[in-house]
Structure 1
């Protein structure tokens, strides 16, 4: 059985709507699909509803990806089988999305000062978690760069002139938040972290 436990929809920075994502997963013969949008669970009900009407749809696992910071390292924590109505989790994610809005405005101001004028919508009614990928896509759409990666390399990644740090949870706070919401916390893409002792510590949690 094919399984995909790390996916994003248009509820954060994904390309497909939750329903389209489920449809694509079914076409690819994926049997289990976890929807793990950044700081948002708003696409999960849509994904589950779509799965009811799609032939050979995957089993949907309720998930989320929380962004955290450990020193200079950006650490993403995945949560599986979470209670998507958990008040504490929803409140914290709302706070994090608001922080993304403030960060977005600072990024747009920085790149505008360099001559890159683009518009990016803030969090929409579906509480899309806006981030640097949205800025990069806007830069490509305006013809400033050929690819999203080029926009990151020149302007948006850490150390470049358009980068703006974002207030985040600590990994320990994210793990505790997910556990109290009934979920299983898992370190996302650990191979991207250069601090191996940090990886080992987080994986023990």
Structure 2
């Protein structure tokens, strides 16, 4: 069984529509895929509908990647199988999402001050109907030839955390986020906790404290973790009794990583589904629909 528990669609900053993502996941030989767009569940309905027309079985895990910050350091929390209509968590996700446009506009203005010929109209075109974010701004900079790649924009020179054009956004306290996800019947996993190439990361003591507060797991096998980092995180998870996941963090053509490049052990996936009470995985018809 091949399981990828971290992907994005055009509902946030991926380049595949939710339906395309389901088709591409089936073509990649996945059995289970989680759709975890940033701070939104807007792509779930389209993804669920697309499952019915796939030529093979594919199960969808509904989720979201929630923007958090601790002591000024941004971090992301993967939330799986929560009730998307639970009022408290929904309200906080809407606050984060609604702050994305003014934050992105402020970053565009700062980039213009730095000499980049970027416009808000260009960024809005790239984002389309998705929740606008830094990857859309990075894509605009690539189009303009300011940087060669999307990852090249995520530097201190441009839009990395603390970079010259970086603007902070509304983010949840991660302890609050863990509590809200659990109250909504979901399971929480700390996404790429040691991705130092993205900027500052929280100390491992924070992971210990989050585990004590109810965090379920940490994402270990990820493109931004090298071998020694994965081993260290695996050891930390064992000490703290946390689940360990692996996933692609797929964004379509916006990143080089492929679907299923990193995967989650089926036993871990089974434990996630056993802990969740807010929603259930959605199985596809696998070509059997009459």
- Tell me the TM-score normalised to structure 1 length: 0.92
TM alignment of 1:57-68, pairs within 5 A: 57-68=57-68
Structure of higher CA gyration radius: 2
By relative contact order (CA 8 Å, sep 6+), the higher-ranking structure is: 2
| In 2: Cα distance, 1:169 partner to 1:194 partner | 14
CA RMSD of the aligned region, Å?
1.9
Secondary structure in structure 2 of the residue aligned to 1:191: coil
Structure 2: 5+ residue stretches without partners? 196-200, 215-290
| In 1: Cα distance, 2:152 partner to 2:111 partner | 14
| In 1: Cα distance, 2:2 partner to 2:28 partner | 9
> For the Cα contact (< 8 Å) 2:70–2:202, is it kept in 1?
no
Change (3 A) 1:31 1:53: same
Answer yes or no: is 1:173 the counterpart of 2:176: yes
1:136 deviates by 0.5
1:33 deviates by 0.7
Please, which moves more after superposition, 116-125 or 159-168? 116-125
* 1:131-178, Cα deviation, whole Å (9 max, x unpaired): 111100011112222111222223111232111111211001111221
Please, which moves more after superposition, 11-20 or 147-156? 147-156
Structure 1: 5+ residue stretches without partners? none
> For the Cα contact (< 8 Å) 1:186–1:203, is it kept in 2?
no
* 1:104-144, Cα deviation, whole Å (9 max, x unpaired): 11101101111112231189785x22111110001111222
Give 2:56's aligned residue: 56
> For the Cα contact (< 8 Å) 2:127–2:136, is it kept in 1?
no
| In 1: Cα distance, 2:202 partner to 2:88 partner | 31
| In 2: Cα distance, 1:169 partner to 1:144 partner | 32
> For the Cα contact (< 8 Å) 2:6–2:34, is it kept in 1?
yes
